[in-house]
Structure 1
Amino acid sequence: MRRFIGIVIAVLMVGAVTGCGGDSGSEASVVTSTAPSTPSGVPDLAAGQEIVRDIDVPWGLAFLPDGDVLVAERDTGRILRVVPGRPAEKVYEVPGVVARGEGGLLGLAVAADYAETRYVYAYFTAADDNRIVRFRLDGQPEVIFAGIAKAGNHNGGRIAFGPDGMLYIGTGDAAQGNRSQDPASPNGKILRLTPDGAAAPGNPTPGSPVYSLGHRNVQGLAWDRSGRLFAAEFGQDAFDEINPIEPGHNYGWPIVEGMGGTERGFTDPQVIWKPSEASPSGIAISGDTLYVAALRGERLWTVPLRDGTLGTPQSWLPDLGRLRTVAIAPDGALWLTTSNTDGRGDVRAGDDRIIRFPAR
């Protein structure tokens, strides 16, 4: 088990100075993502098909190589296998999940070499912290990273393998904003790890898992066709954000919320909303569109994407309630989970449900 411990504090304090500026010499050697494959076709948002219903707070969602889908239930700790046309089937239960407030079983990711290793990764809230484990569906979990502070809210939780083969993790500030600016804390950060849980080579500060800092609560990660990383972030009272993520950059929280941080050495978001319109959780990119699942805003946002620049968002699907996770399947279909049973939504008959929008 690897913990985020004091031996890296000294090098992280050096990295914090270079990370606050927009450009620094320390970034020259940083490993950046290579271009991922992009499915052809555009999801047809007028052709939604309900795949399964009566799921208990679906949170993480990941695709297996055979086309089946794994879905994490936040409050039960169960992982379900979902196949269109069949009832959902429990295939695993993560031990030690403590589901309180926004905590529980959160993000899921499938290893890039799953065919060989059979590894599934999960981010969850335990008795003392948030942590990441990996496991085979017929085996016991192995803790690969621990020590991410937990709270009733702002636990982050999204994990995803980047096109460079590294594991990226969005964390929250666990309701203490000062952690986001503390380079010795894994909270309020985007972390970048090897599949074994070590700090990835080429990170902004050698030996540190921190890829970017100054975040409030990151629950969405996605890459465009050129390998550029984008992240969704919950604001407090003023602005939710979509940020283009650059290694070593500081995104300002809690000093700045929304725009206006560049003159103080922070990186501004490209898109902002009022929290009542968004509260963005999962994001996904297909072709020239970024998709954003909105919780409090109770809609799906689509944002045009051209050469790394985001345009004006457009609102879709206003009748499903709170939306937690959006993902693009290997066949180009868009999968979407509702989150009306999470204690903050109006529960509809059949909630929570998973809906598939086929590519056209």
Structure 2
Amino acid sequence: MWNTTEQSSRRASQVINRRAEQYQVTSGNGVSNVQATRCKAAGRRVVEEQAWVTGTHVFALCIEAKGYDSGKRAKCGNEPKTHIDVQLLPKLLSSETIKNARNSQSKYENIQVFYKDNITKIVIKRPEKKNALSMETYKEIANALEESGKDDSVFTVLTGYGDYFSSGNDLNNVLRRVTGNLDDMVKESISTVRNFVCNFIDFPKPLVAMVNGPAIGIGTTILGLCDLVYASDRATFNTPFSKLGQHPEACSSYTFPRIMGSSKATEVLLFNKTLTAREACNLGLVTEVFPDSTFQQEVWARLKSYATNPKTCLALSKQLVRNVDKERLHAVCEEEMELLSKRANSEDALIAIQQFFSRKSKM
């Protein structure tokens, strides 16, 4: 079954119509405290059928208004002597209907979220920007992670659309600071990125990264917080922080030395060494590398198999593995954000950014 969206929750408040201003419906079929408003009289008997997503189930709702009856019922607020019988009947809906209820969401502009085979899939979709992360994209991914952490999926997958996994922080985020109050813009940006990283740290289920192409900056560093990292053999990994007058983030100052050793982490984080997928795998950042021509098919076949495992068992096992570091990761994230905040408008950072845009304009 699929978990609810905000839109479908709001639909539930508009399903039942009678004359009262507001009443509650309580049912033993998994729906409780459904608020119904703007009631309209339709005689002694009304029969209506609706289908919507609520709680953790898809329901077909059959409403029958009649005299007082035992069982499930709602009382009209301004007609205390009148009762109606509200039958909430679980109904078998096609998998296509369920999929459309979840996958037709339009609340995200920069990502797509799919629910299939007990897996939540989050796709970064800004191909014109090589899937760079704008401030809005950071927020959307954080929100999608928060929602998928509570839904019925067994685990969540993060991937990119098109040729890139992610080209990292959208440097147009830096230009935003030039046009506004610098201190306020820096605080807003740091808060957004901090929340983004914390959603990875606190994610309660296994989190899988499918690196379909180049990963740059935070597109690479966030992989240290994922539980599995599968990569296409055309993927590369680069953190050009020093070139841009920036510093490591996404807890990479802690996770990378633990994953690949201090010396290699220094080469990657400080001296901008680009890793191939094979090199990243040998260093432990990537779990396994697949041929690009069969990457999607091979990885998804494996993930579908993994998704047949018990959801709660996997979540609790992940917590055993990850919780020992959680407090430390939050502390590291705070240290990194503090340094980035202090250095965001430093002279060398601004010069590096200017040089970057100057080179870009000549291309």
Give TM class, smaller chain: under 0.3
Q: Which has the larger radius of gyration?
A: 2
If each structure's helix is expressed as a fraction of its own residues, which one has the higher value? 2
If each structure's strand is expressed as a fraction of its own residues, which one has the higher value? 1
Q: What is the TM-score with the length of structure 1 in the denominator?
A: 0.25
Higher relative contact order (CA 8 A, sep 6+): 1
Q: What is the TM-score with the length of structure 2 in the denominator?
A: 0.25
